Amino acid sequence: MTRRARIFVAGHTGLVGSHLFRKLKEKGYTNLVYRTRKQLDLRDQEKVYDFFKRERPEYVFVAAARVGGILANRDHPAEFIYDNLAIQTNVIHTSYLLGVKKLLFLGSSCIYPRNCPQPMKEEYLLSGYLEKTNEPYAVAKISGIIMCQAYNQQYGTNFICAMPTNLYGPGDHFDPKSSHVIPGLISKFHEAKTLGRKFVEVWGTGKPMREFLFVEDLAEALIFLMENYNSSEIINVGTGEEISIKELAEMIKGVVGYQGQIKFDISKPDGTPRKLLDVSRISSLGWRARVGLKDGLAITYAWYLRNCKKLDSRKTHYNCKTAKH
Ligand code: GFB
């Protein structure tokens, strides 16, 4: 990928896309193509085709997706499967039709079976049943992987698939009802601190184990893979380290500086008991994550304090500014 290559970042205002976009610019890639959701609905096949025909991207990052935390997935299963299938199908198929040189599709660690042996190796894909709370999302992501592999096999394309673990960082979605655990807990602890609440509710039992990757590390990894990886085999991107939700909640409480109690709300789902990626494949290529969880949380909270000041009309959370380019 030369510095003048025409690169389309699908989803450039999202958590992953915005960091990827900035890092590409920092590295001297100047010919970036992008559209906001308002300008181009990636679920619309005809519009996607017209856009590709006009802009002729040579490289494509598929960072556009409908994402959300455990409750958003459970409560909006139809939107999670439809939007993701439509977006990725249109972008992957059009990339094939219009001769894109290389495409990177972003999956997720939830593509692996619920009771997968740990750490999860790439070859465990489709070896067991999925976790129910995010099955529609996982099935969409698995379809994207199989589609890339099928196109590589039949049409000789170079479509690669990266599987990131749970992500967090500046620019995340902080509405505690629908967000992932880290932004959700940052919001809740911050509000409890500012509004003098006695306790904060953490969902589930606190026992599930998760691995968290700072989004800037992922952005680095995606560029590294676009530059160095050319295989149909999926590739995990993570830190190789895990933490329980209880320990994570204590850590976030410390970063925010909240003094009250933590209560576990066991009426809320735990989801997958454990999700730790085996990162030996990407490590053997020479890539590893740099930002530790505590540092990443401090950076994220500092961003939250700078950008999330306006109290939502329901007074449940502070609204954040979105990424601008
Ligand atoms: O981040 P999260 O929603 O994603 O939840 P998943 C992780 C764990 O944190 C679960 C617990 O056990 C939650 O019950 N948790 C505790 C909380 N308190 C909270 C809270 O305030 N908010 C949230 N959100 N969780 C998602 C999938 O699963 O992972 C997606 O639903 C995607 O499809 C994503 O794959 C990476 O790891 O459970």
Is residue 61 within 8 Å of 222, Cβ to Cβ?
A: yes
Task: Encode pLDDT of 36-69 as tens digits.
Answer: 999 999 999 999 999 999 999 999 999 999 999 9
pLDDT in tens, 180-195: 999 999 999 999 999 9
CA of 110 to the centre of ligand 1 (A): 11
Least confident of 71-75, 132-136, 313-317: 313-317
- Does the pLDDT value for residue 322 go beyond 80? no
- CA-to-CA dists, residue 118 to 38, 113, 133, angstroms: 41, 11, 20
Task: Report which ligand 1 atom has the smallest distance to the Cα of 133.
Answer: 31
Helix (H) or strand (E) holding 248: helix 245-256
- Is there an atom of ligand 1 within 6 Å of 165 CB? no
Q: Which of 34, 137, 301, 304 is catalytic?
A: 137
Question: In this structure, which residue's CA is closest to atom 9 in ligand 1?
Answer: 181
The model's pLDDT over 114-172, given as tens digits with 9 standing for 90+, comes to 999 999 999 999 999 999 999 999 999 999 999 999 999 999 999 999 999 999 999 99
Residue nearest to atom 23 of ligand 1 (CA): 181
Look at residue 325 and tell me whether its pLDDT is greater than 70: no
Residue 264 has a pLDDT of: 98
- pTM for this one? 0.96
- 304-313 per-position pLDDT tens digit: 999 987 666 6
Q: Is 240 left (phi over 0), alpha (psi -120 to 50) or beta?
A: left
Say whether 137 is catalytic.
yes
**Residue 100 CA to ligand 1 centre (angstroms):** 35
Query: What is the CB neighbour count within 10 angstroms for residue 217?
Result: 22
Report which residue type is found at 254. Answer: G
